[in-house]
Structure 1
Amino acid sequence: MGATLLPHRHPGRAWLVLLTALLAMLSTLTVPAMAEPDPADKIERAVAEALEAKDSSDFWVMFTEQADLTGPSQVADWNARGQAVLDALRETADRSQAAVRADLNGAQVDYQSFFIANALLVRGGTTALADSLAKRAEVASILATHTYALPTPQPAADPGAVDAVEWGLAAINADDVWSGFGVRGEGVVVGNIDSGVQFDHPALAAKYRGNTGSGTVDHNYNWFDPSRVCAGGTPCDNNGHGTHTMGTMVGGDGANQVGVAPGARWIAAKGCESNGCSEAALLASGQWMLAPTDSTGANPRPDLRPHVVNNSWGSSNGGTIDPWYRATVQAWRAAGIFPSFSNGNSGPGCNTAGSPGDNRESFSSGAFDVNGAIASFSSRGPGENGDVKPNLAAPGVNVRSSVPGNGYAANSGTSMASPHTSGTVALMWSSAPSLVGDIARTEALLDDTAVDVDNLTCGGTADDNNVFGEGKLDAYAAVDRSPRGPVGMLTGTVTDASTAAPISGARVELTGPSNRSLLTGAPGSYSSSLPVGDYTISVSAFGYGTLAGTVSVAEGQTTTRDVALVPQPSSDITGVVRSSAGQPVANATVRITPGPIQSVTSGADGAFVIHRVPHGDYQLTASAGGCADPRTQALTVDGPETLDFTLPNRSDSFGHHCTLETTSYVEGDTPLALTGDDQATLVQLPFEFFFYGKTYREAHVTTNGHVNFLARSTAYANAAIPGTAAPNAAIYPFWDDLLIDASSRVMTKTSGTAPNREFVIEWRNATFFQATTTRIDVEAVLSESGVVSLRYRNLDSATPRETGSSATVGIENATGTVALQYSLNSPVLNNAQSIRFTPPASGVLSGTVTDANDSLPVAGAVVRAMNGATEVAQTTTAADGTYRLRLLAADYAVEVTKQHYVASSSPLTLTGDHTQNVALNTPRAELDTTPLTFLAEAGQLRTATLSLRSTSALSLDYSLSSGASWLWAVPGTSSVKPESAQAVTVRVDPVGLTPGVHDSTITFSTNAGRTPTLTVPVRLVVPEYRRGINVGGSGLTDRNGDVWVDDQRWAPGGSGYLSAGPVTTTRKAIAGTEDDALFQSQRESAGGYRFDTLPAGTYQVQLNFAELNAFQPVGRRVFDVSLNGTKVLPNYDIAARVGALTADVHEFWVTVPDGGSIAIELAALAGKKPPVLNAVRITHRPDRTT
């Protein structure tokens, strides 16, 4: 399992492991035939939940049928056996997956097929697709995808070596195998599925199968990176775990003998992308190990599969047996590949073995320490079906091995134990070729030769128990018991023919009864135990010619074959490494390829020299880390050469570049409420901060030396960046396990004026968890321009941890896919230099969006910057119509949209700050929204006309709605042409309404941006009492549909005139009215009119007058009009007021109690003609109070 591997320092935190639990994907257990399961039961709950949360999700489609590998596993020839297994797996997958693949292709769904487990990984599948696939009989299950955390290996104390051999190698007697049998793993290829490998590490470079021996490398069939994490297809290790486990298997550079089988060759697959391992990468890696492909992933070659695959990863699933990788392991075993696994780091409890190590098909290793005691973290068994697990125990505590950066470190974990077992298998198969591919015999030999340990705490016996398994690994005994047959020893020394100096690293190729590929050691010597017989020998070394010949090996005899190689001419290369600013770069590494020439380091003046380079064509690369990108130049050496380097500033794929400065440290002045261990707080930024193309207004600051702009994160275990695990969108001034105690503070400060403000986040006098005597000052300075400056103070250069030996420094984007990492676990920080991260050129796009009709601001408009069909950024205009976007310098289309406005799109080439105002076109609507009031009784339909006007160059569309059933308008929908008007008729019908006041509205919904909604209030007054009398005439209905009754005498409780006077009529037209009939009759000397038994309320009293005598002089008919005793028209003279034959209407208001009356009195003045009245109407008005 992943390296752990120190007990965690926080309560409740578990031991670190390489991977957490992996999802159960596949079971190949044979079960009796049964009814087809319900399709819904085939879909894992996690898949259903993911699809409920969003429209699509990735998921696995697992097929029921598994290939029968019984026959292929019996094929004797190594190459033919691998091909037979590959063919069987492919045929089964192609046949059983055919229909599903056809459906997916037809639906244009992205997927990846895996033949090794008969599975498909569907990308962006939908609920409907999952349901459809689950209904297929050939589909076993639909499972969710997972990515699992991969912790950075934890450093451990170095227990030192035993007689110059690492303690673990001595503990299993590997060094005795080298000396006693002359076997170091020659002819065997090991592989690992891990976090990658530094292929040019001094302990591993010569053993890499991709090393051609001529100074070049070929990664085809030797390296696999399914997730394409490493740049340029070149092997890398961005975690460190894989380089360490590979070193334990084969590593060694003379002074550092760390590997069990240093004569073996290695290949690798990067099954863990960075800090996590996806199921897809793990399965793809397992498939590649069965049949390695070229660098494009094509042309599989099962004949180039490794003999042993080390798997120092797994889940911490305790008593649950997870069979998801079983099909892969079964395929390996069928092809003759030894499957070596770690047993897990979840001890000391019983029943804690992890998967796949706890599977019956896997050979797993527990871990013991330098004293032979089982490691407390080593997982205990039992395994599947009560099997003894681990199978055996191997060294796994404080194991020193290779790590990226050409260094060495001690780590702990069963991850470190399993490579000891893998290396031992390499020694066994190298010494006994008849064992190659015979997994069962190899496992039996390992079990039988393991040293028993009587530990029954988890059950079992002294011989087989669930703590040590079969016992402690003994490589010497395993090799000694292997069927090696008659052997002899071949030794020799390779020297320089001109100087007789020994040549280390020379390759000795032997072809015969057993093929060997040997490398000479530091004194130029080589040796190997070989089956007897005749061999062809070929010896080569960089810078020398090649010699070939034959040699015979006799049983029990030592044959010596010394070789002197003729050197090629050589010369020195000198040069100077400078920065982009022209300054000398000290401590830059200059590497030359091809060839095993040691890299050199530039001096304080930037100068370097590489001595004795054989003549030929080379590539020289100078690298300095930090803020300088490497630079590679070609050089033909045919004499003394000079080659200078100018290193460009480092940059990431987004365009940030890094430079070193001497900027002053700025102290914060505002403390944050942030103290303790693993704490975080949210800070509002004083300005919009532009970072990796996104704009942020708040930041999450943690005690652990990092700040991010997405979500709270207190991650304390630093890791390489980029990485998809949180935090992301982050700045890492000093990501380490820091502590803000009583002597520490986290401070902020804002300085400057817009647009050149800066915001300081400072960790002052911060200390380290478990190292509280060490203190540092660190800060990140965020500039309004997007520049980030990391600054340091009070770093002790003599204390590596203060200068970054366990910290990550850099910046990272929001998805964890792009980063500019300045340093990782490297003590390179100092007080004199700050690190400046400058974003690519950008500018602020700003402006105002207005309405083209009125030139006033448009709020809420969406402004988008588009790159083709991709939205780069968007914002919304403020209340004053303004907007602001910071964008990278580039070509854009600026799109502005708002409902009811015509969208605007205009091209923009942004080179700096730019103002772009936009006027949006929209229809314009004008409407008189004065409230409408109708007075109507049941059966009376009232109407009014509104004029909706379009006053722009665009058509105005509208639709109408009303708030009441008694109110409507026509036409209900229409389009008004530009600069035109539409008459809209409003109608009311009081049918069914109770007397009183009824209010509602007519609403116009338009496509006018400024006035998308226009509302006209409408009031309908339904009177409880209304009576109109056509005085002196008969009943009629006027133009408004109102009824006027015949004139009649008043009777108590009724209505009418009080005294009968003469009636005058005319047929002449009456001016001033359209209802002439209401004015063409009148009664003289009526005395007045009375209306009795009225409901309580306010009444409108309407009196119609007209002088019907066309020749009536002014002043002849003058009279007073009173209402309920109150004179309302004194000295009224119709002729004087309006003339003859002309309507004169008067309205008055009076309040009446319930059951009350209204009396209209007409009184003649002395000497004047009698008063007249043409019509009278009283109306109850519930909408009035006075």
Structure 2
Amino acid sequence: MSFCGPRPWRAVRVLVCSSVLACIALVSSDSGSLSAQAPAAAPVERAILDQADRQKGEATFWVIVREKANLAAAYGIQQRSVRGRFVYDQLTTVAAKSQAGLQALLRARGASFKPFWIANAIRVTGDRALIDELARRPEVERIVRDRVFTLEPPVPGVDEAQISGVEWGIDRIRAPLVWSTFSDRGESIVVASVDTGVKFDHPALVNQYRGNLGAGNFDHNYSWFDPSNVCGTPSLAPCDNNGHGTHTMGTMAGDDGNGNQIGVAPHVKWIAAKGCEQGSCSNAALLAAGQWILAPTDLNGQNARPDLRPHIVNNSWGSSNASDTFYQATVQAWIASGIFPAFSNGNAGPACGTVGAPAGYAESYGAGAFDINNLIAAFSSRGPAPTSVGASIKPDLAAPGVNIRSAWNDGGYYTISGTSMASPHLAGAVALMWSAAPSLIGNIAGTRALLGQTAIDTSDLTCGGTAANNNVWGEGRLDAFAAVGAAPRGPTGTLTGIVTDSSSSPIQGATIAVSGPTSRTTPTGSAGDYTVLLPVGSYDVAASAFGYLTQSANAVVINDGQTIALPFTLAAAPAHAISGHVTDSFLHPVAGATVTVLGAPATTDGNGFYSFAKIPEGTYPIKAEGGRCRNADTKALTVDADETVDFLLTARSDSFGYFCREETASYVEANLVVALTGDDAAAPINLPFPFLFYGQTYNSAQLATNGFLNFIASSTSFSNSAIPTPAVPNAAIYPYWDDLFVDGSSSVRTDLFGSAPSRQFVIEWRNVAYFNDLTKRVDFEVILHENGQILIQYRNIGNDAQERGNSATVGIEDQTGSIALQYAVNEAALSDTVAIRYLLAPQAILQGKVTDTNDGQPIAGASVKALQGDTVAAQTTTDANGFYRMPLLLGTYDLQALKTNYVTALASVSLSTPDGTVTRNLALKAGRLTVNPSTLEFIMTAGQARTANLALANTGTEGLTWSVSESPTAVSWLSEGSGGGALAAGSNATVLVGVNSTGLAAGVYDTTLLFSSDSGRQPSVTVSVRLVVSGYSKAIDAGGGAYTDGSGISWLADRVYVAGQYGYVSKQSGISTTTIAIAATNDDPLYQSARIDPGEYRFDGLPAGVYEVDLRFAEIQNQAPASRLFDILVEGKLVLPALDVAREVGTFTADQHVFFLSITDGKANIGFAAKRGYAKPVVSGLRLTHRPDK
């Protein structure tokens, strides 16, 4: 036998292990007998281990879970909403179940992690030990590194001529023929993009945005998702800090109704997920975006609605590693739910095998790019795809992708090239197909087949394949008209008619809106005529026109092959006068502002006054614009009488505080010529005074021939772009960034005027030419004021679009390339009569600390926002010390501090001192759930049931809700009396935990109770539960009868030993009892009887293993200390000498001693030996329990 300890126990003396080797042997033996053979560890990418070794012992990585959802049944579900819900439920259910154990482990280890259900993966930051532990888990398939995908970088382009008023790419795929022949512009279809976001109020996109409620009102829930909070914390409205996403969406859906027909399917609705933070896309953002595409959520990321998922999603991003399968599960899930996945093939051509991922997946539909001459673009990536992802022919087809003009994030238009531009042509074409043939919606295989069959075969066998399907062109050039014509549109009829006014005069441009089995909208022609091709069915038709009352016709039946004539006569609507004033932030009148209602403009006079004589009754958006340095203002206008509508146009500013102002130009010539000539050249200059720019002071600058100056390092970039951008140049002023040439007829000059502290330093580019056209010349200048203001002026700007800036960038940018105030990019917006002044508004610093009211400790990651009305002026996030700091313009702000599970704190703060600092601390209230004890242990034989109470308390300052679940999965032997509830601040609750060992083999069973709550600091609390099922257990009430104690243990009546069983040996022993209460216990009856001088207790028939010996004593004969001393022996070995209960705890007080021993011979003898001259030994109870956990 061997004895092992210590073991923690309440009010228990524990014998120290007499043999270290014995203890080790016992642990090894028990572990081996109770554990299955460990599975092979999951593979871990070497880069993760290297990162963990280098970077403070931690790495960020992805745990890919082995179990996958079975989505096969989705393909048989006809109802679109049911199909989407099925896929969502399958994915989320499998992920929740298979990740539960891993998440519990990560919480227990205090690791930072985020789970994703669409790919059944978890993003984790942890150390090498955690990586190794996760790799050993049987549910883990592999562990891969965190990656960043890139946007397919667009190539700057040149404008191509429009064809019949539309962009060349739209015309080339014959989309206008689809519009006119099939009356199909993508109605009833929702497209989405995973990209850099979208400028939702762009004139070419705002009307198609699903979140546009009309009359200037928007609801961005379920139409916008920004997982990285790039556009705000929280991100409440779409933005695009790059321009790429606005451009791709424009090619799918854009049309401003005013000559910018840039979209393939201009009557679709669009939504967007910002999967790309700037010029790149993190794995976390892409997976979160992928989930949202499948099941859009509200702006809080809650209440998923798979029924609101888009029909088509465009992805103009990718990795050069086509074997990277990280996104494959996401694409598969989209397809299972009926979403068509369009991808750009990549810009790594012309080499073969350069297709990227995800475009290279067999499931993805990838587009290559061709130009206006029907030549494949050199940059267009070629196939084939790698064998590891199917070795497919790639691209699947080619679409227009060179010199594509589309919308940009500054509200204008930009021409660029790339397969990023080709893919949205494809996505728009699919929208036209599905709108014309609703039976095709969700049929991805059928759609792919039609696209391939109708593409214009183009032979190029350079990279393999056939003339009809090769790795340069795929199936050939996209032909939307042929694809729609081949689609299963079903039987159709024609609706036609003429719209006239009450005098029978035709109304041109009236809108015919058809709703029913499909939806269509079409304008009337010059004769008021319209023709709409429709699938058979019953429709409601409405005719509307500006200035007229809408007329409707319901239940118009369209039959196969028939033409139905439906004329409309519209009555003039009553009209009223609309007028008002437009002022700026200082309440000064804005002269020359444009106020627009229903497409009709009015211009304000010198007093800022405008008027419309007659506006028809109705509800319309009315918009005021006051130049490029003021924010436009849109209001909802309801016309039912003469109306007065005033506008306040605030100054456009960047987040640092710079704003601009347009003023009358007064050009100043400079005289000192700088040694700077030629193409793409730069030269340094010293500044005559220190110049403060975006918080940094500079004494020198670099001038470039290409129309900019910067304060950091020489740059000669000739390819302009939208700003801000991290790419050089930064810390720059861009008066006219374009590809320019300073020849012998040109010069760059400087000059200094005025005296300190009001000096002005002029930098002039005089008579500079365009590199691509030396016949055109422009003058422009930057004037640096000693007070930090910047003035940009122009001269000799004619009506030519290039001279006016349609290929230039104008603005200022900070040193990091993250903040800028852009005036224009690639827009003909410049004039030699208008100067642009940049000023820095007076500012102050607002700072403080955000703490938890429960513990006074800082809250990291809290969002702090400063608002004026409903407008967020600035926002930031607290650091690890709960500290925040943000610059703000002078003024009064409503301050908010918020974080999940905390009550938002509110305060008002006024900043009135320029360059001052105001400190405002905020404390957030929250619930705080505590659960005691933190561990529960039950030791019993098979077939028994026990219970224990867990005490819950809300020690916080706000109420909370809580729930409890078993983790990682539910176990049959454990039950909790309550699944959850609410706890007010300061209140308590009890959870009854029950265990039942019926049917369980001897062994150790562990699980965890996970208490989840909306507590602020610690939303999850775990309680470890261990059930030890003993192979043997006997509890004897020495000297007494049968008794069940407060913990549910059944004590047997005392008995004399019988061979092969158990009991006391000495038949001369006696019994002592008392009725006096026993201290230090709630189980008085157990201690109120005792066996006097039992000799020893014997137990026979014991299975081998470790046993716990639990002995109970009480001095109930009132013996004084040092009156009763006796030894305790196990198998004749002394384990506790000279026990004196009265001395240890006093009389009539419970005493307990616990020992552990190893049994190998099937017997246990526990002896009580009297000391000569002392009272005889006494014992109140003893319990022998097999402990397989030891």
TM superposition score category, shorter chain reference: 0.5 to 0.7
Asked if the contact 2:216–2:635 (Cα under 8 Å) also holds between the matched residues in 1, the reply is: no
Task: Give the secondary structure class of the aligned counterpart of 1:798.
Answer: coil
Instruction: Output the CA distance in 2 between the equivalents of 1:153 and 1:494.
Output: 46
Flag the 1:392–1:656 CA change in 2: closer, same or farther, 3 A. Answer: closer
**Paired residue secondary structure (1:415):** helix
Equivalent residue pairs, number: 821
1:284 counterpart letter in structure 2: A
| 1:304 alignment counterpart | 308
1:396-442 deviation line (CA, Å, top 9, x unaligned): 44555556677667654433433333233223323333222111122
Compared CA separation, residues 668 and 114, structure 1 to 2 (3 A): farther
Aligned residue runs from structure 1 range 1112-1123, under 5 A: none
- Pair 1:709–1:234, CA change in 2 (3 A): same
Instruction: Name the structure 1 match of 2:823.
Output: 822
1:720-731 correspondence runs (5 A) = 720-731=722-733
- By how many angstroms is 1:223 displaced? 3.5
Q: Which residue of 2 aligns with 1:796?
A: 797
Which residue of structure 2 lines up, in the alignment, with residue 840 of structure 1? 841
Partner of 1:880: none
- Aligned partner of 1:249 in structure 2 is 252
Greater mean alpha carbon deviation, residues 746-755 or residues 186-195: 746-755
By relative contact order (CA 8 Å, sep 6+), the higher-ranking structure is 2
Compute the TM-score of the two structures, normalised by the length of structure 1.
Answer: 0.60
How far has the Cα of 1:686 moved from its partner?
A: 5.9
- Per-residue deviation, residues 1134-1159 of structure 1 (Å, max 9, x unmatched): xxxxxxxxxxxxxxxxxxxxxxxxxx
Aligned residue among 285, 289, 300 for 1:285? 289
- Hey, what's the Cα distance between the residues in 2 that align with 1:135 and 1:752? 75
Question: What is the 5 A alignment of 1:199-348?
Answer: 199=200, 203-212=204-213, 216-228=217-229, 233-237=236-240, 239-252=242-255, 253=257, 258-273=262-277, 275-316=279-320, 320-348=322-350
Instruction: Identify if the C-alpha distance between structure 1 residues 497 and 418 changes in structure 2 by more than 3 Å, giving closer, same or farther.
Output: farther
Q: Distance in 2 between matches of 1:909 and 1:367?
A: 54
Change beyond 3 A, Cα 1:155–1:572: farther
> 1:79: Cα distance to partner?
0.5
Q: Which residue of the partner structure matches residue 554 of structure 1?
A: 559
Partner SS state of residue 161, structure 1:
coil
Cα offset for 1:720?
Answer: 2.7
- CA change 1:244–1:638 in 2 (3 A) is same
Following superposition, the deviation at residue 336 of structure 1 comes to 0.7
Question: 1:675-715 CA distances to partner (integer Å, 9 max, x unpaired)?
Answer: 65555566665655443344455655544444445555554
Paired residue secondary structure (1:426): helix
User: Tell me, which stretches of 5 or more residues in structure 1 are unaligned?
Assistant: 1-32, 845-865, 874-885, 892-907, 916-1186
Structure 2 residue identity aligned to 1:792: Q
* C-alpha deviation, 1:611, in angstroms: 5.9
Give the distance between the partners of 2:306 and 2:88, measured in 1 at CA: 7
| 1:691 corresponds to | 693
Q: Distance in 1 between matches of 2:738 and 2:127?
A: 41
Whichever residue aligns with residue 476 of structure 2, its letter is: G
Distance 1:869 1:670 in 2: 53
1:43 aligns with 2:43: no
Aligned pair partner of 1:718 in 688, 709, 720? 720
Question: Is 2:521 aligned against 1:518?
Answer: yes
Aligned to 1:623: 625
Which 10-residue stretch deviates more, 457-466 or 91-100? 91-100
Task: Determine whether 1:115 maps to 2:126.
Answer: no
1:628-674 per-position Cα deviation (integer Å, ceiling 9, x unaligned): 33345676544344545564433333333323456866666777676
d(CA) in 2 for partners of 1:909, 1:484:
64
- Which residue number corresponds to residue 1080 of structure 1? none
Residues 358-386 of structure 1, C-alpha deviations (whole Å, 9 max, x = no match): 22111122233445443444332222433
Letter in 1 for 2:294: L
Residue 151 to residue 575, structure 1, CA distance change in 2 (3 Å): farther
Residues in 1 aligned to 2:134 and 2:789: alpha-carbon distance in whole angstroms: 50
| Counterpart Cα distance in 1 of 2:89 and 2:749 | 65
- CA shift in 2, pair 1:157/1:838, >3 Å: closer
- Change over 3 Å in CA distance of 1:460–1:655 after alignment to 2: closer
Normalised to the residue count of structure 2, the TM-score between the two structures is 0.60
User: Among residues 355, 358, 377, which one is paired with 1:356 in the alignment?
Assistant: 358
Matches of 1:573 and 1:199 in 2, distance apart?
Answer: 28
> Residues 680 and 156 (structure 1 numbering): CA distance in 2 closer, same or farther, change over 3 Å?
closer
- CA shift digits 1:275-306 (9 cap, x unpaired): 55454444433332212223443322211212
In the TM superposition, residue 307 of structure 1 has moved relative to its aligned partner by 1.5
Runs of 5+ in structure 2 lacking a partner?
A: 1-37, 846-877, 893-909, 918-1190
Q: Tell me if the contact between 1:173 and 1:476 (Cα under 8 Å) persists in the aligned partners.
A: yes
Q: What does residue 442 of structure 1 align with?
A: 447
For 1:398 and 1:310, how far apart are their aligned partners in 2? 19
Distance 2:428 2:636 in 1: 39
Q: CA RMSD in A?
A: 4.6
How far the C-alpha of 1:391 sits from its partner, in A, is: 1.3
Q: Deviations over 1:46-96 (max 9, x none)?
A: x559x53x7988665554544332233432221111111112222233344
Choose which of 94, 97, 116 in structure 1 pairs with 2:96. 94
The letter for the 1-side match of 2:722 is: A
Give me the whole-angstrom Cα distance separating, in 2, the residues matched to 1:649 and 1:215: 20
Residue equivalent to 1:423: 428
Cα distance, 1:788–1:716 mapped onto 2, change above 3 Å: farther
SS across alignment from 1:366: strand
Q: Give the distance between the partners of 2:912 and 2:203, measured in 1 at CA.
A: 49
Q: Which amino acid aligns with 2:376?
A: I
**CA 1:280–1:774 in 2, change beyond 3 Å: closer, same or farther?**
farther
Contact 1:571 1:641 in 2 (8 A): yes
Other-structure match for 1:462: 467
Alignment of 1:279-678 (within 5 A): 279-316=283-320, 320-385=322-387, 386-399=391-404, 412-492=417-497, 502=507, 504=509, 506=511, 508-511=513-516, 514-521=517-524, 527-535=531-539, 544=549, 547=552, 549-564=554-569, 568-575=573-580, 577=582, 588-592=593-597, 596-598=598-600, 600=602, 608-610=610-612, 612-615=614-617, 620-631=622-633, 637-643=639-645, 645=647, 647-661=649-663, 677-678=679-680
Q: Is the 8 A contact 2:657 2:888 kept in 1?
A: no
Contact 1:275–1:725 (8 Å) recurs in 2: no
Q: Shift in Å at residue 309 of structure 1?
A: 1.7
Three-state SS of the structure 2 residue aligned to 1:428 is helix
- For the 8 Å contact 2:723–2:817, the answer to whether it is kept is yes
| 1:308–1:633 Cα change, 3 Å | closer
Following the alignment from structure 1 to structure 2, what is the Cα–Cα distance between the partners of residues 149 and 683?
36
1:306-351 C-alpha deviation (Å, 9 max, x unpaired): 212222333455xx44433322211111111111222233333333
Q: Is the 8 A contact 1:62 1:140 kept in 2?
A: yes
Task: Please tell me the residue identity of whatever aligns with 1:553.
Answer: I
Shift of 1:35: 4.1
Distance 1:505 1:215 in 2: 22
Aligned to 2:1047: none
What's the secondary structure of 1:559's corresponding residue? strand
Equivalent residue, structure 2, for 1:1004: none
C-alpha contact (below 8 Å) 1:431/1:529 kept by paired residues: no
Measured in 2, the distance between the counterparts of 1:782 and 1:130 equals: 56
Instruction: Give, in whole Å, the separation in 2 of the partners of 1:804 and 1:567.
Output: 43
- Which secondary structure state, in structure 1, belongs to the residue aligned with residue 156 of structure 2? coil
Q: Output the CA distance in 1 between the equivalents of 2:515 and 2:840.
A: 56
Cα shift at 1:153: 6.4
Corresponding position of 2:156 = 154
**Cα drift, residue 234 of structure 1:** 4.3
AA matched with 2:429: T
